[in-house]
Structure 1
Amino acid sequence: MIFYYYLLGIILGLSLAGPPGAVNSIIANESLKSKMHGTSVGAGAMSADFTFFLIVYFLRSYINLGILKFIYIIGGLFMLYLGMAVLKSKMPSKSRKGNYFIGLSMGLTNPFQILWWLTAGFFLLKELSILSVAGLFSGIIIWIFTFPYAINRFGYKYEKYIKYISAFIIFIFAFYILYNGIILLV
């Protein structure tokens, strides 16, 4: 049964980290520079997941949902900035250290990541073993090393398209997040 919970967590971690979205768009764009640039962004986003895990684990009954509307607006504006940086082929930082903080700040302001932890994260902690959480982070680690490797290895032929698609995905998420933040303010 222990292995079952851990394996279930890995599958859940891959499903959380794998879908196209703003973070994976930045990972793909940075992976064109080097595998470590992309992995650094992913590590930052995973650190945000770990932060949310701790918050959900220790403060489950005290989270004020009214704060989410401001996180939506901040996150949406930040993603607009990142989308423009991708289109201009200039990321806010050239170092892996800076990429880590990009991933961390995206993760901390990403309403989808926050909502995932407030919903599926609660379920994970309540209904499954804590080993499933270890599996979840193992799945994320698998993703943040394999995805940048694949993009770096095979993406050079498609660099221009990866940049345009990455920016497009970021803009979609940015506008969607801003729209939801504005709706919550009204």
Structure 2
Amino acid sequence: MLDALSSALAGVVFGLALAAPPGPMNAVIAEESVLRGWGAGFKAGLGALSADATFFLLALVGVVGFVERYPTVRALMVGVGGLLMVYFAYGAAKGAEETFRPERVQSDGDAGGDGADTRADGSGDAPTAPGSAATSTGFRKAFVLALANPYQILFWLTMGVGLLRKGEADLLAEMPYVGDSLAGTLVVETGSPALVVGFFAGILLWATGFPAALVTAERRVDEFAPVVAVVSALVLAGFGVVFLYDAVTTLL
């Protein structure tokens, strides 16, 4: 029982460690959270988690390995992912532009009236976040981008499936950017279903807490939403260009 619990806790730490670093998935979650609220951000997080679950199942049956063995197939997937990231970056930039626009204008009768503000569309309702009236597409955006992410494919080819095989794994060494400095910090025995359950629980915990933190900050800091939207657009555009370059060089 204690072994299963310790494996599950190690999996939670691993899931959080992989979900937290900046990247296209967190850019989508951040954009959805500040422009459309916690629910939209959480759904985007579920989209990324669902993609990981899909990769897990595909890796078990060998499909992920098939993609990696054929560079042309992989390049086409990466190219599609790059195009989608550039497209979603444009959408994030548009969202940032909308948040900078004045949301209230003074009505024609305010000069001698009660001074009440009205919306530009003539209604007296409180302003809403850009895009809040529209159905959030964060889940689909994160899911599709994750499926076209070569880094996630590579992870599930190596470390991901290895979580169920008997042996040992240096979990934090797999973290993006800082893995080398954390090598040896969290070495666990693999082959336990509790480790996999904890891993997905850690991702779910991030998908819950990260949007909540962003929404709380957006309520307290003026202009927080447009800044996050701009950063999200830049991150998506940057990764999109990198993915497109990777696809073109592979195909050529």
Tell me the TM-score normalised to structure 1 length: 0.91
1:111 corresponds to which residue? 150
Structure 2: tracts of 5 or more residues without a match:
96-129, 168-189
**Identity of aligned pairs, percent?**
32
Larger strand percent: 2
Q: Which structure 1 segments of 5+ residues have no match?
A: none
Tell me, yes or no, if structure 1 residue 74 matches structure 2 residue 80: yes
1:167 aligned to 2:230?
Answer: no
- Give the deviation of 1:99 after TM superposition: 2.3
- Match of residue 2, structure 1, among 1, 4, 20: 4
Is the 1:57–1:125 Cα contact (8 Å) retained in structure 2? no
Q: Which residue, out of 55, 60, 64, partners 1:57?
A: 60
Q: Who is 2:18 aligned against?
A: 16
Q: Is the 8 A contact 1:23 1:45 kept in 2?
A: yes
Amino acid at match of 1:12: F
Query: Structure 1: which 4+ aligned runs deviate by more than 4 Å?
Result: none
Matches within 5 A, 1:1-186: 1-32=3-34, 33-59=36-62, 63-65=66-68, 66=70, 67-89=73-95, 94-96=134-136, 98-126=137-165, 127=167, 128=190, 129-156=192-219, 157=221, 158-186=224-252
Tell me the distance in 2 between the aligned counterparts of 1:116 and 1:61.
10
Q: If each structure's helix is expressed as a fraction of its own residues, which one has the higher value?
A: 1
Computed over aligned residues only, the root mean square deviation of the Cα atoms, in angstroms, reads 1.9
Letter in 2 for 1:83: A
**How many Å separate the matches in 2 of 1:101 and 1:60?**
21
Task: State which structure, 1 or 2, has the greater radius of gyration over its C-alpha atoms.
Answer: 2
Count how many residue pairs are aligned between Structure 1 and Structure 2: 184
Could you say if the C-alpha distance between residues 60 and 6 of structure 1 is closer, same or farther in structure 2, counting changes exceeding 3 Å?
A: farther
